[in-house]
Structure 1
Amino acid sequence: MPRDDFPRLGLGTYSDDHREQWRDNVRTALDVGFRHVDTAQVYENEQYVGEGIRDSDVARDDIWLSTKTVHHDVPSSTEQVPAAIDGCLDRLGVDYVDLLYVHWPSGIYDHEAVLPAYDDAYETGKTRYIGLSNFTPELLDEAMDTLDAPLYAHQAEMHPLLPQRELVAHAQEHDYTFVAYSPLGQGSVFDVPELVEVAEKHDATPAQVSLAWILSHDNVAAIPKASSREHMAQNLAARDLDLDEEDIALIDSIDRHHRAIDPDHGPWNWDDATHG
C-alpha cells in the first residue's frame, strides 16, 4: 500500500465548543507547515475546516484531508450512509477527501450494509482511500474481507500510556497505516516521569517526546490537536526528534495505563488492557 504522500503528523480538530475556531486554526496549521487535517461529521466543524483550507495559501491538492462518518448516532440508518458521505463533502466544500473513515463500528454499523457505500465512494472518486476507526482486530479482519477497496488506515487512541501494541502489529502485518488520535492522552503524558526524563535529555517537551515515540513505529502516524501557532510548531518539530534505543526502551517500560477516550459505545472491552 503506497504511503509516500501520507503526512505522518497531522492536525486533529475535535473540540466540544467554539467550533468556528477551526477556520483560523486550520489556516494557521497550514501556514506553520502541516499538510494533513483530520475532522469528522460529528465534530460539527467541517464547514470551518473547509473554510480554513480555502483561506490558506496552500493548494487543495497539497493537503491531505480526512473525515469520518457512521458514528453511534449518525446517520440513523444504513440507507443514509451515501447521503452522509455527500454531506461531509458538501460541508467541507470539496469534491473529494483523501481519506474517508468509518468513525465507529457501532450504531447502525453493519459491515455488509455500510462498507459497500464506502466502496462506492472510492470507486466514484469521492475519496482516494478508505479507513476505519476504533475497530478491534477481529472487526478489522471482517471489514477487510468485506471491502473491495484496500484498507488504507485505521485510527484509534494511542500514546505512551496506551501503546496499542496489538493494533499497531495488525497494521504492520497487513501494511496499512495506524493513525494515533489523542496522541498526548489529552494532557496525561505531560507529567509522566519517564517522558520528562527523555524530554530533559533532548531539550524537548514531553509532548514532543510522545509524538516522536509514536512516529518511531513503522506504519504509524499521529494527529495531535493544537490551537496555538506555538504548540503547532512544537508538535511539527517532533518529526525531527530522534529518540535512541535507550529512550525507546524507557518509554516502553512505562507500566501505567490511561485511556482518554472512554465512550459507552463501540466494540471494546474498556476494562481489558490487552489492546494497550
Structure 2
Amino acid sequence: MENLQTQGIALPRLGLGTFRMQGDACRAAVESALALGYRHLDTAEMYGNEEAIGAAIAALRVARKDLHVTTKVWNENLAPEAIRRAFDASLKKLRLDQVDLYLVHWPAPNMNLPAMFETLMKLQQEGRTRAIGVANFNIALLKTVVEDIKAPIACNQVEYHVMLDQTKLRQYLTAKSIPLVAYCPLAKGGVASEEVLMAIGRKHDATAAQVALKWLLDQDGVAAIPKASRAESQKVNLDALKLRLDDDDRKAIAALPKHKRCVNPAFGPAWD
C-alpha cells in the first residue's frame, strides 16, 4: 500500500470509511478489513462507532506503528474545552494512547479558528495526536487556517469522486502540499451504473467502482476512504489498486458531468 507523507505521518492511500457502521457489524467489518491488509481506519465521534473500532483493533493486534487511525471532533464541540473533552472520549473509546490524525469534522458558523487550532496544536505537541487536519473546509477557510494561523494541516477530507469537480480546491491544496482525502469516493454507489465507467471496466476486466476508485488514487496527493462493510467489497476496493487506466480512459472520465454533490448539509460551508 502506497502512503502519502504529510506533516510527519504516513497516510495509506486507501483506507476504510466507517460512517453508519455500528456495533458488532462495525467491529466485524474492521476486523475483516485489517485481516485483508487495510491499515488506514477512518472514524469520528459523530459516527458513534469508536468503541467498536477500538475493540476490533484490540482483537487483531496489528502492530500500532503499522496502523493509521483518524477520528474527528464534531462541529458542536469546537470550543477549546469541548475539543479536549471530545478528544479524551474518543481516545478512551478507541482504546489508544494516541491517534494518528485528529480532524475538525465540519466548520461551524460561530467557531473561533485561532482558539480551535491552538488547542489542536497543543494536543499534537502533547503527543496525543500525531497530526491534525480538517474536513469539509472550503478554500477561504483553508487560507485562514494555513496562511494566517499557520496550523500544520495534514489533510483536508472532502467529498470527491468522478461526478464532482474539485479542481480549484485540489489546486490550492497541492500548492500547499496538503493531501486531499476523498470521502464518498464512489458517489454513494452512484458510479456503479455509470455507462462510461462500466465500459472502461469491461475493457480492463474490472467494475465501474474500481475504475472510479483508481481514477482518484492515480492523482497526486489524493487518498480515498470508501465505506465497505463486507469483506468481498473491501477486497474489490483493494484490488482496484492493480488497475492500470490509460489516457483514453482518463479522457472519457474527464468528459463526464461533474456537479453531483452527495453530501451538502445546511450547516456546511459555501462551496467555491
Shorter chain as normaliser: what TM range? over 0.9
Q: Out of 149, 152, 161, which is 1:150 matched to? A: 152
Question: 1:174: how far off?
Answer: 0.7
Whether the 8 Å contact between 1:53 and 1:60 is mirrored in structure 2 is no
Are 1:103 and 2:105 an aligned pair?
yes
Aligned counterpart, 2:5: 2
Amino acid at match of 2:125: E
Whether the 8 Å contact between 2:17 and 2:228 is mirrored in structure 1 is yes
Are 1:219 and 2:221 an aligned pair?
yes
TM-score when normalising by structure 1 = 0.92
Q: Within 2, Cα distance between the matches of 1:253 and 1:37?
A: 32
Cα distance change on mapping 1:44 and 1:19 into 2, 3 Å: same
Aligned counterpart, 2:31: 27
Aligned counterpart, 2:60: 56
Query: 142-151 vs 56-65, which deviates more?
Result: 142-151
Aligned counterpart, 1:208: 210
Whether the 8 Å contact between 2:79 and 2:116 is mirrored in structure 1 is no
Secondary structure at 2:5's aligned position in 1?
Answer: coil
Cα distance change on mapping 1:247 and 1:257 into 2, 3 Å: same
CA deviation string 1:94-141 (max 9, x = no partner):
011111101111155321221111000110011111110000111011
Whether the 8 Å contact between 1:112 and 1:146 is mirrored in structure 2 is no
Aligned counterpart, 1:272: none
Whether the 8 Å contact between 1:111 and 1:146 is mirrored in structure 2 is no
Matches within 5 A, 1:230-245: 230-245=232-247
Matches within 5 A, 1:119-158: 119-147=121-149, 149-158=151-160
TM-score when normalising by structure 2 = 0.93
Q: Within 1, Cα distance between the matches of 2:50 and 2:149?
A: 26
Cα distance change on mapping 1:37 and 1:174 into 2, 3 Å: same
Secondary structure at 1:65's aligned position in 2?
Answer: strand
Whether the 8 Å contact between 1:75 and 1:108 is mirrored in structure 2 is no
Q: How many residues align?
A: 267
Unaligned stretches of 5+ residues in structure 1: 270-274
Whether the 8 Å contact between 2:159 and 2:183 is mirrored in structure 1 is yes
Are 1:12 and 2:17 an aligned pair?
yes
Aligned counterpart, 1:39: 43
Question: 1:257: how far off?
Answer: 2.3
Q: Within 2, Cα distance between the matches of 1:220 and 1:76?
A: 27
Unaligned stretches of 5+ residues in structure 2: none
Question: 1:2: how far off?
Answer: 3.1
